Structure 1
Amino acid sequence: MKRRILPILTMALLVTAIPEAIAQIRIRDLQRNSGTTVSGIVRRIVGNEFILDDGTGQIIVDAGPRWYRQINLSEGERVTVVGEYDDYDFDAYRITRSNGQIIQIRNPEGPPPWAGDRGRRNRN
């Protein structure tokens, strides 16, 4: 009995101890979840939005308004993005470049900082 319970308890501890360890999802398999990770190559950039291609599909990644933070990515650059898919684009929380540099866009909890009072009203 103890031999069966130990592996289950070990897995439960690992899952709760590593909240950032989220499996990477292929773009074609995206569903509406917060904290999802996608990786790929930047194909086209318009302002702070860019098209990310992982070989299974492409998606528009929204990194917030340019006046809040400029992301300065380059076409052809490989990045990993943590964020949330919202049915037509992928809202970025954090972008990691292939050299390890992290671009923090926003926290996943609550409205984005650029929402102002609109975000506060929507929480009530």
Structure 2
Amino acid sequence: MKLMVAAALAGGLLAAPLIGVGAGTASALPGTCDGSGCVPFVRAGVQAGGHCLQTTRYNYGFDSSGNTLACNSKSTWISSPPLVGVRTLRSVCDTSAVAQSPDGVPLVCEDGAWSADYWTMFYG
């Protein structure tokens, strides 16, 4: 019995520090986050007009001033609306900014919902 109590206490002590991880950044939707700093695979230190490797996912970068850039169809960094975080496809929105889906698809707020936005990648 003492061994079970000790194991339960040890498990609780080990798990306790994990409870506060991400405090204040939780979202009601799984896989979402607020702020550009939580968006995965955003390249830092890119320059408008500079070369990039264009793909269909994870195409955002920040210049040295923190401005959002996107890699276009010509493999060049171009100006983009501000990146506001990770959002799920078709979730509600009301902004002129851009977001990224949990799996890296660029999103734009269109008609009140986040929609896939491949315009920059293929035509920009």
User: TM-score of the superposition, structure 1-length normalised?
Assistant: 0.24
The structure with the largest strand share of the pair is 1
Flag the structure with larger Rg: 2
